Amino acid sequence: MPIYQAAPVEARSGLQSWKVTNLPQPPNAKGLSLLAVIGPGAIVLGASLGSGEWLLGPATFIKYGLGLLWLTSVAVFLQTVLNTELIRYTLYTGEPAVTGFMRTRPHATFWAWFYAGLYLLQTGWPAWAANAAGAIFFLLAGKLATRDDATSVYWIGCATFLICVVILVFSGKRIERTLEILNWIMIVLILGSLFVLCLLFAAPVHWFAAVVGLVGFDLNAGGFNFLPPDADWLLIGAFVAFSGSGGVGNLMVSNWARDKGFGMGQVVGFIPAAVGGQKVRLAHSGSVFKVSAPSLRSWRGWWRIVRYDQWGVFFIGALLGMMLPAILYTSALEPGKDIRGLGIAAELANSMAARGGAALTFTLAMMSVWVLLKTQLDLLEGMVRGITDILWSGSTRIRQWRGGDVRIIYYAVLAAAVVWGLIALRLTQPIVLLQLGANMAGFVMVVSALHILYINTKLLPKELQPPLWRRLALIFMAIFYGFFVYLWLMGGLVPDREKGFFFSLLRYFGVG
C-alpha cells in the first residue's frame, strides 16, 4: 500500500509549505543609528496621529473630559503587544501576519475574503482625505465649512485623495522607505509643534488633568470617572478603537516589517513602486529557519530591534500623540461642545484665532491638512498592500498574471480603491465615515488578537512562542475591544433600540 504523508501544519489550509533557510544576521545598531534600522513603528504611529489623536480624541475629550485618557493608556499598551506579536510571526516566516491567518482552517480562501472585507470596511472610506478637505476649505475660505459647502468640500477631498495616489505611484525604489521618511518628518514636526503650543497656550491645570486622566481620574469631577453616563457609544467606541492605530492599521505593521527586511523578511522580497522601482521577486510563501543556538542569538537581536521600534517609537509616541492635542483642544474650546461637523479638522485653528492671530491660525490649519493627508496616504497604502499580499499568497493565477510582476497587482488594487473612494466620499459626512471605520477597527482587533495568538502558539517553534503574560494580554485585548463593540452595537449595557447601531441597521433594511 502507498504511504501518504500528511501535509505540514502550515500547508493544511491550501497554501504552500515554507522553505527552510538561514535567519539573516540583525544589524548591530546602537544609539542614533537605530533610527535607520527601525521604521514600521514610525509608519503605524504616523497613521495613528490623524484619526484618533487629531479628530476623535479631541471630540471625545471636549465632550466628556480628559478623564477618558485612561482608555488610551489601555488601548495603546494592548496594541503595542499586538504589534509585536504580529511582527513575531513575520520575523520567523517573512510573511505578513494575514498570510499566517490564511494558513488556518477552514481554508485560505475563506480568510482571504474575510480579511480583505475587513480592510475595505475599515479603511476603504477615504475619511481622512475628506476631513483634510475641511481644513483646506478653511484655509481657502477663511471660515468653517457648513452643509451649504458640502459640494466644495467633496471636490477638495477628491483632489486630496488623488494626491495620495500620485505619491504612491512615484515612491522611488521601495514604497515602505518613502512612507518611513515622511512619517519621521511628521512625527518630529507635529509632536514638537504641539508640545511648544501646549507650553505657550495651555494652563498647567490642563497638563495635570491630562496626566491624571491617563489613570482615569477626572479632575473636574474630583474623582475617578471611567465611563460617562448617557454616552454616545458610537463616538466612544470609535475613540477607543483609534487610540493608537486600530484594527487593520495594526495588521499593516507586519507588511511594513516584511518590506523593511525584519528577520526573514530579508529573504522573501518586497513590493516596489511603479515609477522609480524595478521588478522584484516577491515570494508567495514564506521561509523559516531551524532553531539553534546561533539562530536564537540572531532572533534575540531582531527582537531587540522590534522592542525599540514598537515600545520606544509607537507606544511612547501614541501616548504623546493623544495627550498633546487633548491638552491643546480642551484649552481652546468650551467643554461639552460637539465639534463633529464638516469643519472638525479646522475647529482648533478657528478657536485659536483670537489668542494667536492669523499666523497661528494658518499654522494649525496646515498641521491638520498635513496630518490627515499623511494618515490617508499611510492607510490607503496599507490597505492596498494588505489586499495585494492576500491575493499574491492565495492565487497562483494572479501570481502568473502579466509575468508575475507584483507591481501590476498592487496598482490594479490601488485603481479599484480609488474608484470606490471617490464614490464613498459622496455618501455621508467625513466624520461619520471616520466613526464607522473606527468602530469596525474594534471588531478587527477582537478577531486579530485571538488569531495571532493561535498562529503564534500553533505554527511557531516552542522556543519562539510568546510568553504567558503576552498570551493573557491578547485574550484581555479581545475582551476589552469586544466590550466596546457591544456597547456601540447595542447602544449601552442594556440594549437601546434608539441608540444602538445594530438596531439602526435593522430599521434601515426594514426589519424590526
pLDDT value at residue 52: 66
C-alpha cell at 210: 491630562
Alpha-carbon distance 243 to 232, whole Å? 17
pLDDT value at residue 476: 98
Burial label, 206 (beta-carbon count in 10 A; 0-12, 13-18, 19+)? buried
Q: 175-212: per-residue pLDDT in tens?
A: 667 778 888 888 888 889 889 989 988 999 999 999 99
Alpha-carbon distance 135 to 118, whole Å? 28
Domains and CATH numbers, the chain: 9-470 (1.20.1740.10)
Sign of the torsion angle spanned by Cα atoms 110, 113, 118, 119 = positive
Alpha-carbon distance 441 to 192, whole Å? 28
Q: How many CB atoms lie within 10 A of CB 491?
A: 22
Comparing C-alpha atoms, which of 374, 379, 378 is closest to residue 120?
379
HSE-up of residue 111 (Cα within 13 Å, Cβ side): 23
Q: How many CB atoms lie within 10 A of CB 30?
A: 8
Predicted TM-score (pTM) of the model is: 0.89
C-alpha cell at 128: 481622512
C-alpha cell at 276: 522609480
Alpha-carbon distance 449 to 140, whole Å? 43
pLDDT value at residue 345: 65
Q: Which residues on neighbouring strands pair with residue 20, listed in sequence order? A: 288
Q: 260-314: per-residue pLDDT in tens?
A: 889 998 887 655 554 444 545 555 678 999 999 999 999 999 999 999 999 999 9
Phi, psi dihedrals of residue 429, rounded to the nearest 5°: -65, 145
In tens digits, the chain (512 residues) has pLDDT values of 444 456 788 888 888 899 999 999 999 877 777 777 888 888 888 877 766 677 788 889 999 999 999 999 999 999 999 999 999 999 999 999 999 999 999 988 899 889 988 888 888 878 888 888 888 998 888 888 888 888 898 899 899 999 988 888 776 556 667 778 888 888 888 889 889 989 988 999 999 999 999 999 999 888 898 888 888 888 898 889 888 888 888 998 998 898 888 999 888 765 555 444 454 555 567 899 999 999 999 999 999 999 999 999 999 999 999 999 899 888 888 887 777 666 666 777 777 776 777 888 888 888 888 888 888 888 888 888 888 888 878 777 777 776 667 778 888 888 888 888 888 877 766 667 777 777 788 999 999 999 999 999 999 999 999 999 999 999 999 999 999 999 988 988 889 888 887 888 788 677 76
C-alpha cell at 125: 472610506
